[in-house]
Amino acid sequence: MIELREAGVTVPAGEHDAVILQPTTLTLTEHRISIIGGNGSGKSTLARLCNGLIEPTTGSVMVSAGSGDGSHPGDNTPRDGDTHDNRTHAGETSRADAPLDTTRHGAAARRLVGFVFSDPSAQLIMPTVLEDVALSLRREHPKKADRLEAARAVLERFGIADLADRSVHTLSGGQRQLLAFASVLAADPAILVADEPTTLLDLRNARMIDDLLLSLPQQVLVITHDLELAARADRTLVIDDARVVFDGQPTEATAFYRELAARGAGA
């Protein structure tokens, strides 16, 4: 669950402060949430607020593993070395899902909320596929042999085990983005935020990533320009001019956004 409490972002710019995001209050509990809006509207800032990559200049952002509606097994934070094997269902756990303030507990918030960028080449850190996944597992598996074995299992799960020893540079765009997802999900976050994950991909790869996003046990928050993907969510936010201008049904939201764009073009 992600909770914004009057969270806003302004940056000093000359005499006046530039408002990147107006103070916003939101409680995001739905399993699949999409965010749409124009370039520079503040979508990416909203996404980055969710895992403390950007800290709010006013208000606060709280994240917690519990979903509130019990629709996903959101108790599997990697905080104390959970593995994929002992994940339990939300209803069965008594573990405290205390909300974390992203400003005060940035590190813990980032472990709870995985983040995938639109350009995977900046996101992939290590030279080979297996090493990049293993890097996410260094906290869970201090021993290298265990770590590599776990990384192989992750690649297996994503169907890219055959790429394990390939150099990251030799991968296709779709493979790279899939690897970026695998590396982030290897750390087993409770929530996944993806910032335009399919923008650089061809149609087939974009659909492959869409299907992956919608099949994850994690709560997913996806920013996209692909209205087809946006409409497959449970709830959609439309951002315009640094504020949430529509919040509700995906089909209504995309209709609202189309109208907004048409009006903007006419003006």
Partner 1 sequence: MTSSPLGEYITRRSPLHRLRPGAKLLGLFLFGALMVAFRSVPVGIVALVIGVALALLSGMRAKDLLRVGRRFAIVGVLLFAFQAWQRGWEHGFAVVATLFALLLAASALTASTAADELIDTIVWLLGPLRRFGVRPEQIALAFSLTIRSIPIVLAQARETRDAAKARGLERSPRAYLIPFVLRVVAHAQLTGEALQARGFGDD
For partner 1, the binding residue among 101, 131, 140, 210 (CB under 8 A) is 131
In the Cβ-directed half-sphere of 25, how many Cα atoms lie within 13 Å? 2
* Pair 3, 9: CB distance under 8 Å: no
* Residue 22 phi, psi dihedral angles, 5° rounding: -65, 155
Binding partner 1 by CB under 8 A: which of 125, 142, 157, 211?
A: 125
The count of residues interacting with partner 1 (CB under 8 A) is: 32
Could you say whether residue 264 binds partner 1 (CB under 8 A)?
A: no
Complex with partner 1: residue 121 or 249, whichever CB lies closer: 121
* Other Cβ atoms within 10 Å of 202 Cβ, number: 12
Q: Is 170 in the site for partner 1 (CB under 8 A)?
A: yes
Q: Is 172 in the site for partner 1 (CB under 8 A)?
A: no
Coil, strand, or helix at residue 62? strand
**115 phi and psi angles, rounded to 5 deg:** -135, 125
With respect to partner 1, which residue has the nearer C-beta, 3 or 131?
A: 131
Contacting residues for 60 by C-beta, under 8 A, at least 6 apart? 4, 5, 6, 7, 101, 102, 103
Q: Closest CB to partner 1 among 90 and 190? A: 190
Shortest Cβ distance from residue 83 to partner 1 (Å)?
17
- 187 binds partner 1 per the rule CB under 8 A: yes
Beta-bridge partners for 18: 11
The bridge status of strand 32-37 relative to strand 219-223 is: parallel
**Mask: binding to partner 1, 84-123, rule CB under 8 A, as x and -?**
----------------------xx--xx--xx-x-x-xxx
Identify the bridge partners of residue 58 per DSSP, sorted by sequence position: 8
Q: How many angstroms separate the CA atoms of 15 and 12, rounded?
A: 8
Site pattern 41..80 for partner 1 (x: CB under 8 A) = ----------x-x---------------------------
Contact residues: partner 1, CB under 8 A: 51, 53, 106-107, 110-111, 114-115, 117, 119, 121-123, 125-128, 131, 134-136, 139, 144, 165-170, 183-184, 187
